[in-house]
Chain A
């Protein structure tokens, strides 16, 4: 299985994701510089967290026009698995690969802490190793994670089961996101963006006894295995 992690100027979680994919899991992983123009043979593309282009203008707004993004958009539209974490989620929104937009946190503060989340949809390539409605814990670290979407599109998200993760309740919502939304996928389920950082709680040395981040990556492995079997048949 082959995974690619895109590095933009200002990405700072790229090595963390790479480490999880390459060392904790069996992904043959590449770091992909934003100036590259093509993507070949990947089972998974990750847009990592950080502050691409210094978050100038809006988080993710300038990264969306990096050379590599046309290939990422093509790859996603062809059904390739794309995971956007934190700044990666913001880039997916700015690219229109996922609906909605991010505002500055309601508190106006950068929030860095563990939060409790509820798995709202476990029938996605990214959450199939969780129980439905399971409460899990992951760290968040962002200043612009206040997810916004208008009423009509929110209803669409809900009726298509595109809301994948929610902050457990209002008290766990670190940013003021509408409906406590923490992560959403597209209608086809192959593109997933979330504000929490699964790569920061995916190995025992960092989060002893907890598998909450680990299982997001094992979900992806499971999905790729199933996809491979389908092709083999």
Chain B
């Protein structure tokens, strides 16, 4: 089975996000006064080939996030996993 993975990483809650802060200032300047907070993160799409079940695929994605795609010291991650036609 093949899988499509969508991964988002962003700085953990409570860690000051300099990019988010700058974007927030920009939005405020445009007049969007209701903007309470902005967090800037990263978005990645992966295709995984030949993994027999969803659990195995999820295990692999978590491993990739912990080792490389996110830095657990400062970032949280989340992912979506869907089966695709091979």
> Which residues of A come within 8 Å of B, CB atoms?
57-58, 61-62, 65, 93-94, 99-101, 103-108, 146, 148-150, 176
**Residues from 29 to 86 in B contacting A, C-beta threshold 8 Å:** 42, 68-69, 71, 73-74
- State in angstroms the CA–CA spacing of A104 and B74 once bound together: 12
Contact call B73/A148, Cβ cutoff below 8 A: yes
Contact call B74/A61, Cβ cutoff below 8 A: no
Give me 8 other A-B pairs in contact (C-beta within 8 A), A57-B68, A148-B74, A176-B16 excluded: A57-B42, A58-B71, A94-B71, A104-B19, A105-B18, A106-B16, A149-B73, A150-B73
B11, B15, B19, B68 interface centre (most CB from chain A within 10 Å): B68
Contact call B69/A101, Cβ cutoff below 8 A: no
- State in angstroms the CA–CA spacing of A149 and B22 once bound together: 22
Contact call B71/A104, Cβ cutoff below 8 A: no
Given contacts A57-B68, A108-B22, whether A103 and B73 have CB atoms under 8 Å apart is no
Contact call B68/A103, Cβ cutoff below 8 A: no
Q: Which residues of A contact B11 (CB under 8 A)?
A: 103
Closest to B11 in A: A103
- State in angstroms the CA–CA spacing of A106 and B16 once bound together: 9
Interface size class of B (residues with CB under 8 A): 10 to 19
Contact call B15/A103, Cβ cutoff below 8 A: yes
Contact call A106/B18, Cβ cutoff below 8 A: yes
Contact call B68/A101, Cβ cutoff below 8 A: no
Q: Which residues of B contact A65 (CB under 8 A)?
A: 68
- State in angstroms the CA–CA spacing of A61 and B44 once bound together: 15
Q: Which residues of A contact B19 (CB under 8 A)?
A: 104, 108
12 examples of A-B residue contacts, CB within 8 angstroms: A57-B42, A57-B69, A61-B68, A61-B71, A65-B68, A99-B73, A101-B73, A104-B19, A107-B18, A148-B15, A148-B74, A176-B16
Q: Which residues of A contact B71 (CB under 8 A)?
A: 58, 61, 94, 101
Interface string of B1-25 (1 = CB under 8 A from A): 0000000000100011011001000
Q: Which residues of A contact B73 (CB under 8 A)?
A: 93, 99-101, 148-150
Q: Which residues of A contact B15 (CB under 8 A)?
A: 103, 148
Q: Which residues of A contact B18 (CB under 8 A)?
A: 103-108, 146, 176
Q: Which residues of B contact A104 (CB under 8 A)?
A: 18-19
- State in angstroms the CA–CA spacing of A105 and B74 once bound together: 14
Closest to B42 in A: A57
A100, A107, A150, A176 interface centre (most CB from chain B within 10 Å): A150
B61 CB → nearest A CB, Å: 16
Closest to A105 in B: B18
- State in angstroms the CA–CA spacing of A101 and B16 once bound together: 13
Q: Which residues of A contact B22 (CB under 8 A)?
A: 108
- State in angstroms the CA–CA spacing of A107 and B68 once bound together: 26
Q: Which residues of B contact A146 (CB under 8 A)?
A: 18
Closest to B22 in A: A108
